[in-house]
Amino acid sequence: MKKSQDNPPLKVQNLSKFYGSLQAVNQVTFEVQPGEVFGLLGPNGAGKTSIISTIVTLEEPTQGKIEIFGHDVQKDPLTAKSYVGWVPQEVINHGFFNICEIIKFHSGYFGKSLSEEETNQLLKRLDLYNHRHKKVKQLSGGMKRRLMIAKALCHNPKILLLDEPTAGVDIDLRTSLWDFVKELRSQGVAILLTTHYLEEAENLCDRVGFLSHGRILRIGQTSEIVTDLTEKTIELILDRELPELKNSWVQSQKGNEIHLKVPMTKGVFEGVRLAGIDLSHIKDIRVKDGDLEDAFRRVMKEGQQ
């Protein structure tokens, strides 16, 4: 029986990692399913890269287990890693080879021999085709980042690990890379992503885990985390001044201007009514929903207490 038929693409169980006396990862558990983008989010030094390093066997876990389609990465690393494409934080390329040569060498590490047509198709998808004969040292920073992704995909992996893939790139490249990630997700690729761009993570990730000091503080569906942990801000201008409102949702009341913070589970006008305000008195209203960054800040703050 093929293990891959009965197991998730990536399963991390009770993972801990020490560097001497420093614990970088503390009992971390999560899974990534086919066609899912899972975001591992946390401040610098939270343990994100250490987790990815143990998945790709650059580091050995101190405790715990990592399985890729049921294959233990420590006991069966060659089979496990054959499913994985990895884009590390740092751009690592050999400057004196051209793009086509790099792809040929890298696919050979996985026992694949890409045809010229397959190579060209991959490069076209990443807007590298017209530069395919350039040496890596001639490429811009954005092109080098695209080449890192091409290298990770040249053996058609079922799992893609993206460690800060858009760090330091311009907004156009960032947008095109995220579009490409969405395309891969639609093809059933399981994607583990770390990023500091929380707005992008909110739009891209199906689920997220908040990591701090090596521990996952919260994990769940992105939309549910935002709904459960944030508030919508409502700014009102009324046609008259009201007596002082005795409601915990009222953040400020000055003249005919009132600011509310209402749970995301409440509708806008429902929240206004429950705060004790007659809707007929509203002259102007502005609403800002809570977002993933708000949820992240709250969880990080609570995790420090």
Residue 22, pLDDT > 90, answer yes
The fold for domain 3-226 equals Rossmann fold (3.40.50)
Other Cβ atoms less than 10 A from the Cβ of 42: the count is: 24
- Note whether 201 and 39 are within 8 A (CB): yes
Tokens of 269: 């006008």
**CATH 3.40.50.300 occupies which residues in the chain?**
3-226
Residue 1, pLDDT > 70, answer no
For the stretch 81-130, pLDDT in tens is 999 999 998 887 777 899 999 999 888 888 888 888 999 999 998 899 99
Q: Which residue has the higher pLDDT, 141 or 281?
A: 281
User: What is the mean predicted confidence (pLDDT) over 62-89?
Assistant: 96
Model-wide pTM > 0.95 = no
Q: What pLDDT does residue 177 have?
A: 87
Q: What pLDDT does residue 142 have?
A: 85
**Which is nearest to 65 in space by CA: 36, 33, 25, 38?**
25
Rounded percentage of the chain residues whose pLDDT exceeds 90: 77
- φ, ψ of residue 159 to 5 degrees: the values are -130, 135
For the stretch 206-246, pLDDT in tens is 999 999 999 999 999 999 999 999 999 999 999 999 999 99
